[in-house]
Amino acid sequence: MYLLTVKDGLVTRHVGPYPTPKQASDDLDRVLSSCSDRARWQIHALESPKHRSFADRLHSRGQVVAAAS
């Protein structure tokens, strides 16, 4: 899955998800029609979520996290 991110000044818009980067690119003209000429854009690949907990992933790396309250 892919996500189209458009930054226009202080506003950031996330559009998608799209199954392929080509579909995100094809939709780019429609999205940019509502933006200024200085808008910047990127197409990002979405990562699959991890099924392991954060603590399990840290433990497998040999790292320890300490939290203070």
Reported as a single tens digit per residue, the pLDDT across 17-67 is 999 999 999 999 899 999 999 999 999 988 776 666 777 777 777 665 566
Rounded-to-integer distance, Cα 27 and Cα 32, Å = 9
DSSP label at residue 50: P
Residue 54 in any domain: the answer is: yes
* Number of domains present in the structure of the chain: 1
pTM: 0.62
Do the domain assignments include residue 47? yes
Helix H or strand E encompassing 13: strand 11-18
Q: Are 3 and 14 in contact (CB under 8 A)?
A: yes
Structure confidence at residue 63 (pLDDT): 60
Residue 48 resides in a domain: yes
Residue 69 has pLDDT above 60, yes or no: no
Q: Is residue 69 part of a domain?
A: no
Q: What is the pLDDT of residue 57?
A: 72
Q: Which structural domain, as residue segments, surrounds residue 45? A: 2-61
* Position 44 in a domain: yes
Which two structure tokens, joined as six digits, stand for 61?
Answer: 């790396």
How long is the chain? Answer: 69
- Residue 33 in any domain: the answer is yes
Radius of gyration of the chain (CA): 18
